[in-house]
Amino acid sequence: MVVSVVTQYRILKFVAVNVHETQLLRKPLRHLNLGTYKNLETAKMETPVFDVIHQLVTNNISSVPILNSD
């Protein structure tokens, strides 16, 4: 079960905007509210590539977690 997706872009954007000292980088993700935790777009191994591309474009996102069938 995937609960969130953290991308390079999200981490770098957070660091560029918020980190003036590296102490914040030692905090857990959950305390920084970094990542996507609701309305998460997902796909399965059986999802056609075209559908994943559609999700990326329609939702203006850069990644889609691929879930197993469990």
pLDDT in tens, 55-68: 999 998 888 999 98
Cα torsion for 58, 59, 65, 70, to the nearest 10°?
A: -80
By the 10 Å C-beta count (0-12 exposed, 13-18 middle, 19+ buried), 3 is classed as: exposed
pLDDT in tens, 28-56: 887 887 777 788 899 998 999 999 999 99
Looking up tokens 């980190």, which residue turns up? 19
CA neighbor of 63 nearest in space, from 1, 14, 15, 2: 2
Cα–Cα distance between 68 and 45 in angstroms, integer? 7
Query: Residue 23 carries which DSSP code?
Result: G
